[in-house]
Amino acid sequence: MSLGQILVSYSLLVAASLSLLTYWITKKFVLKKMKRTIMKAEHNYQQQIATLQMQLSGKVNVLESMVEKLRLSNQELNRLNEIRAKFMSIVAHDLRQPLSSIQGFTSVLMMDNPQGGGNNDQTALNNILKATDNMNMLMADLMDISMIESGRFKMDAQPFNFNALLSDVITLQAVNAQKKGIFLQKCEYPAEVTVVADRFRISQVLNNLIGNAIKFSPQGGCIEARFYVLNGWLTFKVADNGPGLLHSEKEKIFQKFHQSNNDRNLKKQGWGLGLSIAQEIINAHGGQIGVESAGLGQGSLFWFTIPQQPSGYHPEAAPAQQEAAPAARA
């Protein structure tokens, strides 16, 4: 064997020995240290998990306590709502009887002695009648809200002539408009329109919207009422030149007991329930109601839209409707 071969063999032997030594050192020290590190990390991880579990358990207990408090609060709120609904119902029912008695006796006094004891007596009797009429309307609003909140607010959908209904409402409201010197204009629709809805409730909405327009319009103002039919939907609009609305008040105005701050004197004349009830009626018919106003002093335009026929209604012979509509006031 040559010297070169001996050196190569020796080099290989040294390399193998070094490899074995490196492996032994790695296994003996490095791997052992890695194992200790892993065990320590695992221990820390387990401690963190235990700590988090304890924290989570504490938060779960707090959450369960809050849920229980919320449940008790909801029970109390439901109880108070029931008491309030019963109170409103009792007030609405029990006050209507004495009001009707006052109204009846006052009417009898006026009929028995038309001239009264003088102009002051006649004026006093008229004021009593007006006050009882106003109270009866307020009681009616309370009864409607009570029915809405108790789920007893039902619609009786029957076919009726919307043109005739609007004419009746305009005729009644024209008396109040004339007293304030307000011009109340109804824009005629060229065709008779039959709507399947609750006639009494729709008339309630019309009276509310037109009555509000008269109440808030200045003396000598102008109110325009119109409606049109398009694609099976009826849209009614009433525009006035009253105080108008702020943009932020457009949604609030349909909330229960909300009253505009624009006129403090007019604010005293009601509960602030009329528009809320009107919204419930229109929603019950599957329609929408809203208001548009350019701002304070710019007047208002209240509108609602309802389907001519509720979904699922199949009359034996539906009257033909003319779909052409006059241009709506902007």
What digits encode the pLDDT tens for the residues 281-298?
999 999 999 999 887 878
In this prediction, residue 316 carries a pLDDT of 54
Query: Taking CA 162 as the corner, what is the angle to CA 159 and CA 167, rounded to the nearest 5 degrees?
Result: 140
Residue 329: pLDDT band with limits 50, 70, 90: very low
* Closest listed residue to residue 129, CA positions, set 90, 101, 170: 101
Least confident of 23-37, 167-181, 183-197: 23-37
* Better-predicted residue by pLDDT, 327 or 59: 59
288: helix, coil or strand? strand
The torsion angle over the Cα atoms of residues 134, 227, 242 and 199, rounded to 10 degrees, is 10
In this prediction, residue 114 carries a pLDDT of 56
In this prediction, residue 320 carries a pLDDT of 39
In this prediction, residue 82 carries a pLDDT of 73
Domain range annotation of the chain: 11-153, 158-307
For the segment 63-88, the average pLDDT, to the nearest whole number, is 81
In this prediction, residue 263 carries a pLDDT of 52
What digits encode the pLDDT tens for the residues 123-139?
777 777 777 777 777 77
Residue 306: pLDDT band with limits 50, 70, 90: very high
For the segment 25-29, the average pLDDT, to the nearest whole number, is 70
In this prediction, residue 191 carries a pLDDT of 85
286: helix, coil or strand? coil
What digits encode the pLDDT tens for the residues 28-42?
676 777 778 888 888
What digits encode the pLDDT tens for the residues 222-257?
999 999 999 999 999 999 988 888 777 777 888 877
For the segment 73-90, the average pLDDT, to the nearest whole number, is 75
Close Cβ partners of 22 (under 8 Å, ≥ 6 residues apart): none
DSSP secondary-structure letter at 235? E
Distance CA 265, CA 130 (A): 17
For the segment 138-147, the average pLDDT, to the nearest whole number, is 72
pTM comes to 0.62
For the segment 5-18, the average pLDDT, to the nearest whole number, is 74
Burial pattern 88-100, b for ≥16 Cβ within 10 A else e, equals: bbeebeeebeebe
For the segment 196-201, the average pLDDT, to the nearest whole number, is 93
Do β-strands 222-230 and 183-186 pair in parallel, antiparallel, or remain unpaired? parallel
Per the listing, tokens 């008040």 go with 249
Given a cut of 60, is residue 321 above it in pLDDT? no
Mean pLDDT of the chain: 79
In this prediction, residue 327 carries a pLDDT of 36
Beta strands in 194-232 (DSSP E): 194-197, 222-230
CATH code for residues 158-307: 3.30.565.10
